[in-house]
Amino acid sequence: MRREGRFGRSLPPKPVELGKEYDVTIQEISRLGQGIARIKGFVIFVPDTKPSDRLRVKITRISERFAEAEVLEKMQKSPTPSGVPRIERAQLKSR
């Protein structure tokens, strides 16, 4: 069932439900420092996470364009402290 959004646009139903749990992988970090995961393209903001973290989260808020979630369990942490794979200087020079 589609619902009306702002400016009369029809919005698809959300792929998440308030209070439900989902397994996600953090793909990137937002400008505010929250982890960003996606479920069927729908953005989920998760605080205190890093890229590559695999988590079980619970949806705490749903808005028109995104949802917010809290971490219930960290199934796998990111491989490096910054969450970004290390690249050796020699590799960078050869590019």
What is the spatial distance between Cα 5 and Cα 43, in angstroms, rounded to a whole number? 17
Backbone region of residue 15 per phi and psi (left: phi > 0; alpha: psi in -120 to 50; beta: other values): alpha
Q: Could you tell me the residue ranges of all domains in the chain?
A: 15-79
Predicted confidence at residue 81, as pLDDT, reads 58
pTM of the model: 0.72
Q: Are residues 10 and 3 in contact, defined by beta-carbon separation less than 8 angstroms? A: yes
First to last CA, the chain: 50
Looking at every residue in the chain, the average pLDDT score rounds to 83
* Residues 18-56: tens digit of each pLDDT: 999 999 999 999 999 999 999 999 999 999 999 999 999
Give 76's pLDDT tier (boundaries 50, 70, 90).
confident
Give 12's pLDDT tier (boundaries 50, 70, 90).
confident
Architecture of domain 15-79: Beta Barrel (2.40)
